[in-house]
A and B are shown apart, each in its own frame.
Chain A
Amino acid sequence: MSENILPKEFQTQGWLKKLTWFDWVFAVALLAGSVYAYSRYASYMDEYEVGILFGTALSLIGMGWGWKPSRLLVVVVSGLSLLAISIYNPAMQALAETGVTGQAAIDVLNYDKEQSKFFLRFLISSQSATMWMSALFFMATIAYFVELFSRSDFAGKVATAMVWSAVTMGLVGLLVRWYESYLIGADVGYIPVSNLYEVFILFAVITAMIYLYYEVRYETRAMGGFVLLIISAAVIFLLWYHFEKGASEIKPLVPALQSYWMKIHVPTNFVGYGGFALASMVGIVFLIKERALRHNSAGIMATRLPAADILDDVMYKSIALGFAFFTIATVLGAMWAAEAWGGYWSWDPKETWALIVWLNYAAWLHMRFTKGWRGAAMAWWAIIGLFITTFAFLGVNMFLSGLHSYGGL
């Protein structure tokens, strides 16, 4: 019945039809890359790792299709990492002929005045990329506050661009570090989410990515400076850890950590931590906004910060995201524990604190869902939640003994 067809302007397309050519090229490239990696390295992988390889490709496709800006991120990060590898490969071989191998060779390529490679030394070696990430996060923090106080749209755009760049460099730093670990020794190589130094990079990157998602979605940059504060704090710790403790040195893994579980347990966990951290910073913005409305409703804080219900929504969404992923991470952790420690639950301090964190946010969500709690109380709770989370993340390793002791300072 022709009359039953809606006029074109009212028709909506299925999500599949909404995909552009770029979406398809992106997906095909990722799958092709995975197939290539599989054809070259299958003999070094067990079936779980093959699953993780293709699972990662599918997840990235899903992320790219659902959150368009992330496609370019994936492309740029892959490009820079492959560039680093393409510089490392021949240079390492040339050095090997002169008898310099492993860490010493990497040091030559990164730092040596004469023999270092320009791009590695100044841009995309793991160390340089991480330093760029750190600098960009600091600058972005300042730029966001400039935007907030001066109402300069340009400063805001610069800030956003810097966060994207920082995320790019952080991811390049991690990926190149992954490759470097194999350059040090084929038996040393491991995914760089295995010690405190590496997970701090991961934390900064993931928290920033979650933030960027909400920045676009809610069309506001006013929260940026506050959210970047916690990322900057993480970066300060990272730099202290690097310069004071030499934590950036790549050291081989203890046997307990040599497992494919590492590749899924840790990143999942940090989506959780990232979500909780973001929520707490948004909680602070919420409290500032509320106070400003009461005391000086014409001031910058009252007028420039997003509306309370938006803040409340962002807070809820990032806690929900964090909670969902934290749940998965804890379950994955339990499954790993069942393979490594002889039981899926040992009431080890780290496990127990993970449970406490989980219970805390479970209670937060219940109060919101069933009692309809909103506002300042929930913001305060989200901030307190960050302290609990931080203790579970760092405090347990520092103050309590247990099976997770390898994460210590």
Chain B
Amino acid sequence: MNTAQSPKAQRQPSNKSVLLEFLGSMNLAISILVVLAIASIIGTVLQQNQPYNDYIIKFGPFWHEFFSSIGLYDVYSAIWFLVLLGFLVLSTSVCIYRNTPAMLRDMRQFRLHAKAKSLKSMKHTSVWQVESEQVTTTDFIQKAKLYLGQFGFQLRDEVFDNHHTLVAKKGSVNRIGYILTHVGIVVICVGGLIDGNLSLKMKEWAGDIKIETRDIIAKEVPAISRLKPDDSLSFRGSITLPEGSSSNFVFLNVRDGYLIQELPFAIKLKDFRVEHYESGQPKSFESDLVIHDDERDKFETTISVNYPLIYRGYAIYQASFGDGGTQMNLAVRPFFTKSLDNGQVQRTELKAEVNKKTTINTSEGKYILEFDDFKKFNIFPNKDKTINKKYTNYGASIIFKARDESGQAREFVNYMSPVKLEGRYFYLSGMRETLGDDFKYLHIPMDANATMDRFFRFHAILNDDARLLQMAQTAVGAAVSDMDRNNRQMQQQVAEAMVRLVGLFRRGGYVAIDGDIQEKVPQEKQQAIAEAYMGVLQTALENMYLLVLREEGIDVSKGISDADSVFFEDAVSALAGLGFYGTPFYLQLVDFEHREASGLQIARAPGKNIVYFGCLLLIIGIFMMFYIAQQRFWLMVVKAEGDSKMELIFAGSTNRNEFGFNKRYSKFAGQLKTLLLGDTK
């Protein structure tokens, strides 16, 4: 930033001037810029302000400690970064301090005293000789004044001993441009510093405040981790408000902990709304807020994305949203169990709330259910060709993790309403074992009463070994020939084999039966046995299904309806997959009371207008510097005493746009020459 054209001081420089020289030097400024740029790159590549656990997993404890200590997790508020910024401001300021006087002088000066020699040595210069007794030097100067004046130049002329000089000057604000840009940078940095968290850091060093790292409720956070409204000039915090709740503080995230920033008013969330496009994408997020300000007033307002509320210097933004604790009525429907003695299918009611955990007991031990989210709508591209719609709504869903006693968790997404696929309705439940995977779906077919009851009755009866055996015996009895009828032992064996096959199927699907064959049957017979087994299994399943239908009061003597037959196939497909579902139960969403939460960000940035002012200076300055060139033209008419010969020197200089200036100089020189000297030489 060393644009001074002043000659180097000849005398021995003082310490002060050496220091200023160093601070204001271009090399220092560029070096700081480079380091800042590299640090900034690190800050973008290494994700900032993540939970510290994530970093430990990523880098290991040693590097984590190291990175943390040099502030790489929050580069932009690391002390060394701020010091560098400070040096940049200092360097720029020194540069302004040193160069401004020279610049202002240069703006004002016309350089009338330029010597003929120096004019002749300029890049743009012409020398014309003229011999005349009639015209005086002043005649030339007057004409040139008229000519150059019409281009908007400032003109100044002076008569010297043996020459008369005219200077035309324009575009001196170019120099102001330099000053404005550099002052702009300093102003921006100062504004930014005011809005930065330097004062917070100082208080932390002084021990006045302490970062809270425990996961405790806000009320229990000790005073040392709380900031009063007047404690902070600027801050940026966030709070999640469930509908109907209110808060008079926000959380400030600091490194691996947080502070509580109190507000001079309370914000209550009355209602939060998400509007959707037809495609299910969110169209708008809006929060109806009530501001309770004891000192002033109480009012209602609505904020949305891009339209924050600014109140008493605090800006309140719609930042995010989530579930505010939706109340859900659930039914736990166990797998792999038979019906109760009264014939009822087992089912336990469960009340739960989103963002909370519940423990349930199952046949396979305790499960912790972590309810992560609730969605009121699920809009997907329509796959059902029978409906002429681009999108379809799958309705409400819950997302939860089921964690078994060993700590293993699987994630589930269960839809409340049945979804139409290929003309039939299914209850969908997606499961995945790791977060990155796609969900694998269990399709439970819907019965004629629009419930999943028949499916669960079918499932329960298949898990009732006594009834299975009974069915098997009847079936075997009907199938075997009279000759074998006597062989009760063999009958029993076949029936037991049938029961065993169903048992394998209900826990492990076709895979389990396949595995059984691989294990016990010689290779050459496997194919035949597999076919036989499938036949037996199919018979068993069909018979059990007929039992279910009969219990429903359906007359099956003349065969079953197409719908019931399709249901059977869908149910068997679903049953075959149960063993891989991962939990010994299905969680049905019965009913819910939706409660949303709005994520607000609240900020106070008194430096904002200072920064904007700096930006304005910067932009105006840039345009002045780039697009207004400082131009000077000299016309010097030299006439020696008593000599009829005159010498005209026309020279020009500029500090920008040499190329455009070239054209202009040529035009001026050509026209002036003709104007002043006439067509004659």
Contacts and interface: CB of A to CB of B under 8 A. Distances in A.
A356 B1 CA distance: 18
Contact of B3 (A321, A335, A340, A369): A369
Q: With a 10 A CB-CB cut-off, give which of A255, A353, A360, A401 has the most chain B CB atoms.
A: A255
B282 A254 contact: yes
A255 B146 contact: no
Contacts of A355: 37, 40
Interface in B296-328: 304-308, 315, 317, 319
Contacts of B26: 366, 370-371
A340 B305 contact: yes
Interface stretch (B334-342, B464-472, B605-613, B646-654): B605-613
B612 A335 contact: yes
Nearest to B40: A352
Contact of B48 (A5, A6, A324, A347): A347
Contacts of B618: 327, 331
Given A185-B278, A345-B192, A259 B306 contact: yes
B236 A349 contact: no
Contact of B601 (A187, A342, A360): A342
B36 A255 contact: no
Contacts of B611: 334, 344-345
Given A255-B283, A255-B284, A313 B41 contact: no
A342 B37 contact: no
B584 interface: no
Interface stretch (B483-491, B548-556, B619-627): B619-627
A371 B34 CA distance: 17
A359 B45 contact: no
A394 interface: no
A318 B602 CA distance: 41
A400 B659 CA distance: 42
Contacts of A400: 44-45
Interface string B20-46: 000000100110011011001101110
Contacts, number: 139
A339 B316 CA distance: 10
Contacts of A251: 279, 281
Given A347-B43, A359-B33, A342 B317 contact: yes
B568 interface: no
Interface string B319-362: 10000000000000000000000000000000000000000000
A342 B306 contact: no
A328 interface: yes
B262 to A, nearest CB: 18
A252 B283 contact: yes
A360 B38 CA distance: 11
Interface size class of B (residues with CB under 8 A): 35 or more
Contact of A344 (B282, B605, B626): B605
B614 to A, nearest CB: 10
Given A6-B146, A187-B283, A254-B282, A343 B306 contact: no
Contacts of A254: 281-282
Contact of A258 (B143, B147, B305, B308): B305
B43 A187 contact: no
Contact of A324 (B41, B43, B626): B626
Given A10-B675, A252-B283, A255-B285, A352 B43 contact: yes
Contacts of A149: none
Interface in B33-86: 33-34, 36-37, 40-41, 43-45, 47-48, 75-76
Contacts of B675: 6-7, 10
Interface string A45-57: 0000000000000
B608 A338 contact: yes
Contact of B30 (A320, A366, A396): A366
A95 to B, nearest CB: 15
A384 B44 CA distance: 19
A43 B626 CA distance: 40
B644 interface: no
B523 to A, nearest CB: 48
A356 B40 CA distance: 8
A347 B76 contact: yes
B565 interface: no
A317 B657 CA distance: 8
B656 to A, nearest CB: 9
Contacts of B142: 4
A353 B44 contact: yes
B671 interface: yes
Contacts of A261: 306
A11 interface: yes
A362 interface: yes
Contacts of A7: 675
Contacts of A356: 37, 40-41
Contact of B277 (A252, A327, A338): A252
A90 B147 CA distance: 60
Interface in A351-396: 352-353, 355-356, 359-360, 362-363, 366, 369-371, 396
B2 interface: yes
Interface in B543-580: none
A10 to B, nearest CB: 5
Nearest to B139: A3
A335 B306 CA distance: 11
Interface of B: 1-3, 26, 29-30, 33-34, 36-37, 40-41, 43-45, 47-48, 75-76, 142-143, 146-147, 150-151, 192, 195, 236, 277-279, 281-285, 304-308, 315, 317, 319, 601-603, 605, 608, 611-612, 615, 618-619, 622-623, 626, 657-659, 671, 674-675
Given A185-B278, A309-B659, A339-B308, 15 more contacts: A6-B675, A10-B674, A251-B279, A255-B284, A255-B305, A256-B305, A258-B305, A313-B659, A317-B657, A342-B236, A342-B317, A342-B603, A345-B611, A353-B44, A371-B26
5 contacts: A7-B675, A187-B283, A340-B306, A344-B608, A370-B2
Q: Which 3 A-B pairs have the closest CB atoms?
A: A342-B601, A255-B305, A349-B44
